[in-house]
Chain A
Amino acid sequence: MTPSIIRTLSVCQKEILQLVRDRLTFGMVVMIPLIQLVLFGYTINTDVRHVPAAVVDDLNNSFSRQLVMDVQATQVLDFKAMAYTPAELERMIRDGKVAAGLYIPRDAERRYYLGDESYAQLLIDGSDTVLGSAVSSLGRFPFQPGNVIGNSSQTESLATRLFYNPEKRSAISIVPGLLGVILTMTMIMFTSVSIVRERERGNMELLVATPIRNFELMVGKIIPYIIIGLIQVSIILTLGVVLFRVPIAGSLLSLFTACLIFILANLTLGLLISTMAQNQMAAIQMFIFVFLPSLLLSGFMFPFVAMPKFAQNIAEVLPLTHFIRIVRGIMLRGQPLNTMSADLLFLLAFSAIFLIVSTLRFSKRLE
């Protein structure tokens, strides 16, 4: 082995020893993916069901009763209260007793058969947009009273078919995205404090007087975290499959390859932060500066295609945007790696550039 490889490996070994000793960080390696996945997986739910609702039934015959039963059968609304006037219904929504209300006017049946007017009204609490839009979609609900005579004017005019996630389960799209979010969070955080910490504790004074080169120090610091990143990927995928029955349509090899490249990109970004920050606090602030846009713009929270051009341009610079595209492709659609070369190349180039820049930025002198 050349002295250069020995030096790189001893930095690696030292980092691992410190990591094992540092219970908090070591715990975070396992606990962050575990807790986040369980929390996000179970709570982020765009698949809205059992919204508490009230009904005002001015018609009160078999038509209105069937309408209420059929709406209830969609499981979107749960009728748990009766009101006597639309005004009372509004008050109940305002007071937060229910989140939606169905008003069936006295002439609902007549309006229905005339077919040119709405026959009933849905009142929805729009302060939660996800909930609002889910309940609104009930407006196109195909109601067929009597279940014998079809009324062609009320059937759906457009048949839709939903690929890859036909049941619209949120966990299926959340878990791949969460894989990227958790890796961004832990990988950048670990490396962004790594060099700053040595500077703060005075260890840098020791290192700078040795023959170790910048590149050796950088690479030696990255390698242990690559292993940790891959461990996290395994934890997240296992939990995703076991707890949320998330499919992995593509090959595991391409999935891990993509994760490896993404981990590299995040680690080098963290290193760059570490060479710029004066102390650990500043490093954490810079980390948040990068993490928040990643979370909001990458397509994890909001659909990328629906964002304004300006936001899309910013998002294109962030590694997470590219990774979310790749990982959803592999996990949900079984897309082969070679069809995603543009995103993969971006991540590789990103890693190379950031590694070089942080090596150059890091000064072995103490000025």
Chain B
Amino acid sequence: MNTAIRVRGLTKKFGDFTAVDHVDMDIPENAVYGFLGPNGSGKTTAIRMMCGLLKPTAGQIEVLGMQIPTQTEAIRLQVGYMTQRFSMYGDLTVKQNLKFIGKIMGVTGSRLKQRLADLVEEYKLEPIFENFAGSLSGGQKRRIALAAATIHRPKLLLLDEPTSEVDPNTRRDFWDQLFLMCEQGTTILVTTHLMDEAERCHHLAVLNDGKKVADGTPDSLKNEMNAVTMEISGSHIPAIKEQVNKLQPVLSATQVGVHLRVLLDTTLPQPEQWLTEQLSSFGDTLIKSTEPNIEDVFVMATRDNESVG
């Protein structure tokens, strides 16, 4: 498998603040690669450095075999970047926006015409093609932003929180589109703090405070997580939560619907039995172990001064 982006010792400082701290990364071609991390963890800064928008304080970036910053201009022709904030011209129509971006990216004449027709088809833009971009709904905006980012058929697509503010159906359509492009040979890098987005990625890197704290496929991350996941059902969940949080081997506890989801230290020999003993005073509680999910991985990886294997 070839590497689309190779990053070594990538560091970015804004004054005294270190936004990205010595990150090493190999992003394989033809995959959807996710940056998972809380707000302010350095995801956007990292992705911006990878398309040459920010100059790294230290470290090397190689994108599609080319070096940043010396070959930034050439890289830009091969990379599509979709910004977190809607960045198209609200006072131009969808068509005018796409034409403008196409020409700027070097797609002209009959090729531009063809690409516009393709995009209208692929992204179902027909009904909104002549509308002003500023008047579109959140989902429609994301759709045309993605269409614009792919107008020059980039080999690498960088998406900064692409579907943070859209409904699940729009998100599904959006991701179907991404997988289609991935299938056709595009490498896709996505930043996210949403669990269902992260779950869809082929590969994940978890960032916290500018450092990479874990990486792997979603399944391997779940399996290698340094915690046991338990689910408690009962009639006094908030009180149980308060009690559980005082216990040393409990790493995290959060209420999910009628359950309490608890992450326990793996050193406990019999976690289920231990938990039952601790909560005997609450009466009718049901305790069972359950499969870890990406949220558990996220919580474990971003706990202060802790890391997972």
Contacts and interface: CB of A to CB of B under 8 A. Distances in A.
Interface in A139-154: none
Contacts of B105: 210-211
A212 B91 contact: no
Interface in A1-59: 3, 6-7, 9-11, 13-14, 17-18, 21-22
A110 interface: no
A367 interface: yes
A203 interface: yes
Given A202-B83, A205-B83, A365-B55, A211 B92 contact: no
B104 A17 contact: no
A206 B91 contact: no
A18 B133 CA distance: 12
Interface size class on chain A is 20 to 34
A215 to B, nearest CB: 13
Contact of B53 (A11, A22, A209): A209
A268 B170 CA distance: 45
Contacts of A209: 51-53, 76, 79, 81, 83
A367 B76 contact: no
A6 B108 contact: yes
A87 interface: no
Contacts of A162: none
A6 B103 contact: yes
B106 interface: yes
A366 interface: yes
A10 B96 CA distance: 10
B198 to A, nearest CB: 24
Contacts of B99: 10
Contacts of B48: 366
A277 to B, nearest CB: 20
A208 interface: yes
Contacts of B53: 205, 208-209, 365-366
B177 to A, nearest CB: 19
Interface of A is mostly: helix
B96 A206 contact: no
Contacts of A309: none
A161 interface: no
Nearest to A7: B104
B89 A203 contact: yes
A22 B77 CA distance: 31
Contact of B92 (A21, A208, A365): A21
A14 B92 contact: yes
Contacts of B104: 7, 10-11, 207, 210-212
A18 B54 contact: no
Contacts of A13: 100
Contact of B100 (A10, A21, A366): A10
Contacts of A14: 89, 92, 96, 100
Interface in B93-144: 96, 99-101, 103-106, 108, 132
Interface residues of B, number: 31
B54 A367 contact: yes
A206 B76 contact: no
Interface in A295-340: none
A9 B108 CA distance: 12
Given A18-B91, A206-B88, A209-B81, A366 B54 contact: yes
Interface string A172-202: 0000000000000000000000000000011
A17 B87 CA distance: 17
Contacts of B101: 206, 210
A14 B85 CA distance: 20
A17 B92 contact: yes
Nearest to A1: B108
A41 B255 CA distance: 75
A202 B92 contact: no
A262 B148 CA distance: 38
B179 interface: no
A367 B48 CA distance: 11
Nearest to A13: B100
B90 interface: yes
Contacts of B91: 18, 21-22
Contacts of A10: 99-100, 103-104
B73 interface: yes
A201 B83 CA distance: 12
Given A14-B96, A21-B92, A211-B77, A205 B85 contact: yes
A205 B91 CA distance: 17
A18 B106 contact: no
Among B55, B76, B89: residue with most chain A CB under 10 A:
B89
B88 A211 contact: no
10 contacts: A9-B103, A10-B99, A18-B92, A202-B85, A202-B86, A209-B76, A210-B101, A211-B105, A211-B106, A212-B104
Given A10-B99, A10-B103, A203-B87, 13 more contacts: A6-B103, A14-B92, A17-B92, A18-B92, A202-B87, A205-B85, A205-B87, A206-B101, A209-B79, A210-B105, A211-B73, A211-B104, A365-B52
In order of increasing CB-CB distance, the 3 nearest A-B pairs are A206-B87, A10-B103, A209-B81
